[in-house]
Every structure is written in structure tokens, then in C-alpha cells.
Chain A
Amino acid sequence: MSDVKKFLYVNRRAPYGTIYALESLEVVLIGAAFEQDVSLAFLDDGVFQLTKSQDTKGIGVKNFSPTFRALGDYDVTRLFVERESLEERGLTEDDLQEIMYEDEDDDWAEKPSIKVVSRAEMADIMADQDVVLSF
């Protein structure tokens, strides 16, 4: 068994109303230093974390949504978003911000980190992990 484990961070909460979303992102960034195989899942209200045009000036808290765009620099390049969760909330992939990474195995080509998957595919992704961390 290799030392590298598959970690999945499961995000099911909206941003700002509680601290879960921000704390998850902090843990992902810390965990990235350990060079594990990291993926993020966004389902239920977690899909709201990735929406475009967040502007928190009026509520006096930090807008952490741009930080998702830095994840690629930490080799966190897989953000799975559940299609059914988007649809239930009247959202589409167009409502999400664009998050890109540079693929070092493909001449540093820019590729999207977000992949919209079905609920069934999300279940398969979850079942394929060594460690699942829930927020």
C-alpha cells in the first residue's frame, strides 16, 4: 500500500451563514502540504460556495470565494459539483465561478477544476476514497 491516500472533503453548507465552508477551505489548504490525493465534493447547500460575484462588503466578513481559484497551485485540481444539488436550487454550471489549473502532465495546459457530476457519480466518488472529511 502506498503512502498516498485518497482524501475527499465533502462540503454541504452554504458560505457565510456558518463557519463550516471557510473552515473546510482552511483544512484543505493545510492538508495540501502533505501531498495526498485530494478531491473536493460540493453537494446540497455546498454548491452555493462556488457561485460567481460574491461581494461581502455589506456584511463585513471576508469573501473567501477567490481562494478556490488558488487551489490549483496546491495540486488540488478536482472539484466535483453535484448536478442535482444545483438544479434543486435553480442554479446551473454558468452560475459557478471559473476555476482553472495547469496540468503539468500535459505541457501545463489550462484545464477546468470543476466537474459537474450526477448524484450517482458522486456516490461512486465517495465510495472510492480512503478518507472522507465532512463539513
Chain B
Amino acid sequence: MSTLHTVNKSPFATTALVSCLGHCKDGDAVLMIEDGVYGGLAGSQMAPIVEEMGKKVALYVLTPDLAARGVDASRLLEGIEGVDYSGFVELVTKHDRTQAWL
């Protein structure tokens, strides 16, 4: 049993991502969407937290949201995987439930 968590807020603006990562179980996945994609930025103040807390979960970002914001995939933390909209759907089907962190 596993959960797909989605986070759509910037980690610099709200605590949604940190709270989400703090509530994840082993085997869960976290998909960063909309302004949530900034949580994947390497070299940011949030990066060490995301890197450490993200060790037990699979981290994904929605690539159309990255592109919209001018963030190149090369700027992401290592280990974060980009998915498109059909990849999003696939993640939903692979997990038992989806939980949105708004």
C-alpha cells in the first residue's frame, strides 16, 4: 500500500512540502506540480531539507510546470524524475491513493 502525494505550493511560501515530506511513508511518491516544482531546485535554501527528507520516497516534478517557470531540468536536485501529464496519470494508477497537499 502506498500513497502518491501532490504538492502545488512553493516551499518558500508555505510549509506544504515540508509537512508532506514529514508525513510520507516508505514507498510513497511525491509529485511536485504548479508552484510546487520550485521544491526541486538544487542550491536553494530548501534543497538540503528536500534531499534529506526525500530519501525514503520517490520524488517527481511535472515537466510542463517546470518549463513554464523557466526551470531547466539540469537545475533540479539529483534523483528527481520529471514526468509529463500521462506520467502523472500513471503515478496515480500505481499508488493506492492520491493525497493533495494544498
Contacts and interface: CB of A to CB of B under 8 A. Distances in A.
B72 A53 contact: yes
Contacts of A15: 68-69
A113 interface: no
Contacts, number: 74
Contacts of B47: 90
B13 A88 contact: no
Given A44-B12, A55-B70, A89-B45, A14 B64 contact: no
- Chain B interface size, as a band, is 20 to 34
A55 B63 CA distance: 11
A51 interface: yes
Given A17-B35, A58-B64, 20 more contacts: A13-B13, A14-B38, A16-B34, A16-B65, A17-B8, A17-B10, A17-B34, A18-B35, A45-B13, A48-B69, A51-B71, A53-B72, A57-B64, A58-B63, A58-B67, A58-B84, A59-B64, A59-B65, A89-B12, A89-B45
B75 interface: yes
B57 interface: no
Nearest to A63: B68
Interface string A18-30: 1000000000000
